[in-house]
Amino acid sequence: MTAFQVGVKIYDRDWHTRWDLSYERLARLLLNWGVDFVLAESAHFPMADSAVRSRTPLGQQARLASFSERAMRDALGSVGIGYWPVLCTFFEPDAVLADETLRPVGADGRPMAKADWYLGIVPTHEGWVRQQADRVAQAVDELAPDGVFLSFCRWPGFWERWMPDKRRETMPEYSYDAATLARFRSETGCDAPATGPAEAAQWIATHAREAWAGWKCSVIAQAARTLGDAARQAHPQAQIMLNTLPLAPEDWANARAEVFGQDVAALAEVVDAFEVMTYHQILKRRVGWIGSRGSQVKAITGKPTFCTVQARPLYLDGMHAVENRHPELSPDEFQRAVQSARQAGVDGVIVFTLTDLLREALGERDMRKVNALWEAKG
């Protein structure tokens, strides 16, 4: 292990279907690129399309019929590359469509509608958390991974739309469904009205804002604890890494905790490492912002902390076109992004995604972004 580590997110299987890499060739390529660990789409956990395509196209499904995640994990492990399957904790749109009790309700009283690819899940749904824990236990028992990466482990919301020009009062907040409000009343003693979600949301904002925020954070921390316990019962050495929003306490009056239920200080008691989604192009931030957000999480938690850096620009089309995000992300900008994290003293970077690196390195024979990772490792 190096002092500064490099990870990659593998959110599809293009490495196998498009680039014709075997498990062993993938492992050797990543080793030669300086990669220390991967956060990978798992056959055990459904991964819907998000900002990137994760679903396997119909034309490729036959080729993947013989895919063995254990063989992939073993090939990576044989060269010292860590393996972390990705659990989309509270994100699975097909599940919501099949069970409306999973659908969040907004402060305006309306059920959450799908925005682009995103549709969240009510985090207080105990049956869902138990199902996810069972999935984790089965996956860890079969794969014996280094750990499990908890993605979407937060209160619902399309956080990528929280850019500097946005005002908190214009952004939707969730979930005020009847079951969540009943649990809130039961566990806190706050007498939020039961007349409807909009009335309850208004009462909470006026009379119980701090209690509501603290309780939301405790729900997320408990979910992370439950999933971590399931992983360690199957494989005692398994660790938990948390997918963390890159919002500082001063951003929108601590929206990371109050809106999304992520109190990183409390979460440090139940997870082993933090991945901070420092997607600067998506959030219309300067490169130097990357290191500042990562180092802040590390200082608060005292745990290993990794900044995720984009390998290409995203959210340029469709409903996102109006935001006028920068349409390019050059090798020089990528290098500066990696160096921002390196100089801030965090433990490493994670590249979003491997497919983007493969497209440039193998498809265009451009190794400049890969070389930037090696340079950061020193």
Domain residue spans of the chain: 5-377
Burial of 113 from C-beta contacts in 10 A (0-12 / 13-18 / 19+): exposed
Give the CA distances from residue 184 to residues 1, 201, 217, 317, in Å, rounded to whole numbers and listed in that order: 44, 12, 12, 39
In angstroms, the CA 161 to CA 283 distance is 7
CA distance 255 to 377: 33
Alpha-carbon span 198 to 176, nearest angstrom: 8
* Residue at token pair 């105990």: 126
Check: CB of residue 239 under 8 Å from CB of residue 147: yes
Report the distance separating Cα 121 and Cα 157, nearest Å.
10
Specify whether the CB–CB gap between 148 and 231 falls below 8 A.
yes
> pLDDT value at position 175?
95
Architecture of domain 5-377: Alpha-Beta Barrel (3.20)
The reported pLDDT for the residue numbered 67 is 87
Nearest to 118 by CA among 42, 172, 49: 49
Q: Give the position of tokens 């214009």.
A: 170
Give, for all 378 residues of the chain, the pLDDT tens digit.
358 999 999 999 999 999 999 999 999 999 999 999 999 999 999 888 777 675 655 555 556 667 899 999 999 999 999 999 999 999 999 999 999 999 999 999 999 999 999 999 999 999 999 999 999 999 999 999 999 999 999 999 999 999 999 999 999 999 999 999 999 999 999 999 988 999 999 999 999 999 999 999 999 999 999 999 999 999 999 999 999 999 999 999 999 999 999 999 999 999 999 999 999 999 999 999 999 999 999 999 999 999 999 999 999 999 999 999 999 999 999 999 999 999 999 999 999 999 999 999 999 999 999 999 999 998
Q: What pLDDT shows up at residue 378?
A: 83
Distance CA 131, CA 230 (A): 11
pLDDT of residue 26: 98
